[in-house]
Amino acid sequence: MKRTRREILKAGAALAVTAGIPGRAFAQAGPVKVGMSMPQTGSLGAGGQAALVALRLWVDDVNQRGGLLNRKVELIAYDDQTNPANVPGIYTKLLDVDKVDLIIAPYGTVPTAPLMPMAKQRGLLVMGNFSFQVNAKVQHDMWFNNAPWNNASSWSDGFFANGRKLGAKTVAFLAADQEFAQNLANGARELAKKGNLKAVYDQNYPPTTTDFSSLVRGIRAAKPDMVFVMSYPNDSVAIVRAVNEIGIGSGVKMFGGGMVGLQFTPIMASLGSLLNGIVNYNSYVPGMKYPIDDFLKRYAQRAKEAKVDPLGFYLPPFNYAIGQMLEQAVNGAKSLDHKQLAAYLKKNEMKTVVGPIRYGPDGEWANARVVQAQFRGVVDKDVEQFRSPAKQVVIYPDAYKTGTVIAPFEKARKAKK
Amino acid sequence: MFFSFELLLEALMFGVLLGCFYTAVSIGLSVSFGLLDVPHVAHPAIMVLGSYATYIVASQGLDPILSGVLLMPVFFVLGVLVYRFYYESFERRGTEAGVRGLAFFFGLAFIIEIGLILVFGVDQRTVEAAYIGESLELGEYRIPYRMLVAFGVALVLTFSLTLYLSKTFTGRAIKAVAQDEPALRLMGANPVRIKQWAFGIATGVSALAGALLIIVGPVEPAIDRLYIGRTFCIVVLAGLGSMTGTLAAGLILGIAESMVLMFFGASWAPAVAFGLLLLVLGVRPQGLFGR
């Protein structure tokens, strides 16, 4: 059949238009795809795998309710190995090959940081996943973090406020040499300065540090009144062990603050009584009144099969909350358009298993809910003990307070209750 | 930054202990890479496999060090099998193919890591022993027992291997295969079998090093990545294949790291270690004890 030049041009134009349709439109025909990179191995792997169990639980729940916009929801998650270098490639694949409709950030500040410029450039809605101050410089207006903190003060103020009450005049800082810990350390230094606390020791350690004996000995020699530590899970364990072996000094009133990992059940169970006396941040501890019981019960069943954090207090509920927020935004906006979803999330209060969440203009929680809790009376080899509110006594903020801090640190280590 | 004679002594002491631990985790590589020229980047992964094997055996109530010793023959056989596969697939086909074996060992490391994740999950594992978590108090000084154990095991390993390589027929054959393979063949010995044996020893030693790794701190499947650079640095700094050199290089790295952590910016610790390597190689390209 012979075609005219006009017909050929029309066909060419139609082809060009079809090829130019963005990926999200192509995905309309199938399920709603939610994509993410998640540390499933490496130092954040334990947390990442537990978080995925919670997200998959939400996917099953939402599909039972009929999905999103009457379409089935599918979660696509790739392992970034806690290596930020893998993150841009993973999201490029998710967006351009898998054609996902919605994205969730990987767990943690370090893996999330490389995603932010790409998300801003492409105008993507990003549900943040327990990162800290990762949007402070990028200022992406479609960022919504699931973490219960906002600025540095929301995280560290409770620690310093209690230290000041105890009469602390000096502080030692020990921080991992990476994005999260440095963001936190910068804020903590500012807070210490404002509170007239003199920094007598301030060190950043590289992530390759294997033994912390020398560093702990250095802190002991500086004789600080309080020690603020900002570390990642493997380091946190090594630091706690080194403190137990070397000793931190009888003058230290409070120790802890920003140690990631001491919220994970396997780590808590492994450290056991070595945790006693440490005051550390947390997102949820038993006793806080959240509508969380049903979720924790169902999570525990799946966690057992997946061989991950059996209690799942720290990350899993907040990851389930990401799903709940996406569900409310999509149903509310009746669209998968990222701008409309972002507008909905900014305007409305979200109902989640970790209580109501309202966002501030920077995409962080308008009202932070980080608690500082002191480990007390923890015994060895008992996972179930951590279900009791008595093992992590909330000393800050007042709204959740269940006790006052025991000091000095050496005394708190021996306290039974 | 504080400075006192006591702190200096403590930094030195921690450095020696840390250095001995580094020696213990590098000495297997000193045999496989230093003497046999096998690009064994899976060495730390095999060591982590040793840690998990120790975890299983020790959970039956055995002492972790004893568990590591008991696992050595099993790992020896594993090493023999791995080398045989590497030899048949790569080394036999010439030097270039041998270098391509690097990919094989990378692959092996990944398989071990993923296998451990599938079986054990990504959570950290620890073992229990009377010497873990306690320390020896000498006046103001407190020395962790776990590091003293690493110190002792490293010394025993170094001197046993040095004696074995210099006093036994097979040991001397292993050294000979590293120096002149055709000459060894002319003497009637089979270099492949000697290398197979030596690789078995290197892997067997990794089982004990793995036991030390899980004694010194908790392990997780990906922890091998922390040790790739460090172990190769020690073996190269030592002068390939020297056991006493490995001990010296481990001590240098341990002491340098400890001093930097105690008195200078801790962030500089890796830079100082690798800076030392560059400095030594600039002056002595064959390493500290290389010929």
A42 CB within 8 Å of a chain B CB: yes
Pairing of strands B135-138, B141-144: antiparallel
Contact A312, A50 (CB under 8 A): yes
In a domain, B289, yes or no: no
**B286 inside domain:** no
Distance between A266 CA and the closest CA of chain B, angstroms? 7
Q: How many residues does chain B have?
A: 291
pLDDT digits (tens, 9 = 90+) for B162-197: 999 999 999 999 989 888 888 888 888 889 999 999
When scoring B59, B138, B261 by the number of chain A Cβ atoms within 10 A, the one with the most, hence best to mutate, is B261
Half-sphere exposure of A411 (CA within 13 A, CB side): 8
Q: How many folded domains does chain A comprise?
A: 2
Contacts of A270 in chain B (CB under 8 A): 124, 126, 218
**Residue B264 placed within a domain:** no
Nearest to B124 among A221, A266, A274 (CB): A266
User: What's the Cα-to-Cα distance from B52 to each of B48, B59, B116, B211, rounded to whole Å?
Assistant: 6, 10, 8, 8
The answer to whether the CB atoms of A205 and B266 lie below 8 A apart is: yes
**Beta-sheet strands, E only, within A344-390:** 371-375
The CATH code of the domain that includes A246 is 3.40.50.2300
Which residue range forms the structural domain that includes residue A73? 23-148+291-347
The verdict on residue B270 lying in a domain is no
Residue A249 sits in the same domain as residue A396: yes
Rounded CA separation B206/B54 (Å): 11
A221 in reach of chain B (CB within 8 A): yes
A189 — phi, psi (to 5°)?
-65, -40
Chain mean pLDDT for chain B = 90
SS3 A98: coil
Residues A71 and A99 occupy one common structural domain = yes
A12 within some domain:
no
Do A122 and A186 share a domain, yes or no? no
Asked whether residue A311 is domain-assigned, the answer is yes
Q: If interface means Cβ-Cβ distance under 8 Å, which residues of chain B face chain A? A: 2, 4, 7, 10-11, 14-15, 17-18, 21, 113, 117, 120-124, 126, 133-135, 142, 144, 147, 216-218, 220-223, 226, 229-230, 257-258, 261-263, 265-267, 269-270
Q: What percent of chain B has pLDDT over 90?
A: 57
Residue A161 contacts residue A216 (beta carbons within 8 Å): no
Whether A38 contacts chain B with CB within 8 A: no
* Cβ neighbours for B110, distance < 8 A, ≥ 6 positions apart: none
Q: Is A283 helix (H, G, I), strand (E, B) or coil?
A: coil
Q: Find all residues with CB under 8 Å of A77, minimum gap 6, and list them.
A: A35, A36, A37, A38, A40, A52, A55
Residues of B in contact with A303 (CB under 8 A): none
Distance of CA A250 to the CA centre of its chain: 33
A168 & A307 share domain: no
**Alpha carbon A54 to chain centroid, angstroms:** 14
Q: How far off is chain B from A106, nearest CA to CA, in Å?
A: 16
A260 and A336 assigned to the same domain: no
User: By the CB < 8 Å criterion, does A222 face chain B?
Assistant: yes
- Tell me whether residue A266 is in a domain: yes
Q: Could you tell me if residue B276 is inside a domain?
A: no
What does the pLDDT read at residue B206? 96
* Mean pLDDT on B128-141: 88
Query: Over its length of 417 residues, how does chain A's per-residue pLDDT go in tens digits?
Result: 445 555 554 554 444 444 444 444 434 558 999 999 999 988 788 899 999 999 999 999 999 999 999 999 999 999 998 889 999 999 999 999 999 999 999 999 989 999 999 999 999 999 999 999 899 889 999 999 999 999 888 888 899 999 999 999 999 999 999 888 888 898 899 989 988 999 999 999 988 888 898 899 999 999 999 999 999 888 999 999 999 999 999 999 999 999 999 999 989 998 999 999 999 999 999 989 899 999 999 999 999 998 899 999 999 999 999 999 999 999 999 999 999 999 999 999 999 999 999 999 999 999 999 999 999 999 998 999 999 999 999 999 999 999 999 999 999 998 776
| pLDDT for the residue B12 | 93
| Chain A positions in Cβ-Cβ contact with residue B258 (cut-off 8 Å) | 214
* Residues of B in Cβ contact (< 8 Å) with A49: 121-122
- Judge whether B233 lies within some domain: no
Question: How would you list the strands of the sheet with A126-128, edge to edge?
Answer: A73-79, A32-38, A102-104, A126-128, A143-145
Position A14 in a domain = no
- Residue B95 falls inside a structural domain: yes
Chain B's closest residue to A270, CA to CA, is B126
- Tell me whether residue A11 is in a domain: no
pLDDT score at A5: 53
Chain segment B53-111, per-residue pLDDT in tens: 999 999 999 999 999 999 999 999 999 999 999 998 888 877 666 667 888 999 999 99
In a shared domain, residues A320 and A409:
no
Task: With CA atoms as reference, report the closest residue to B117 among A39, A23, A104.
Answer: A39
Q: How many domains does chain B have?
A: 1
pLDDT score at B98: 64
Whole-structure pTM value: 0.84
Q: Are residues A123 and A169 in the same domain?
A: no
Question: Are A206 and B126 inside 8 Å of each other by CB?
Answer: no
Same domain, A329 and A401: no
Residue B190: domain span: 28-224
pLDDT at B286: 85
| Whether residue A215 is found in the same domain as residue A133 | no
Q: Is residue B8 part of a domain?
A: no
Are A72 and A101 within 8 A, CB to CB? no
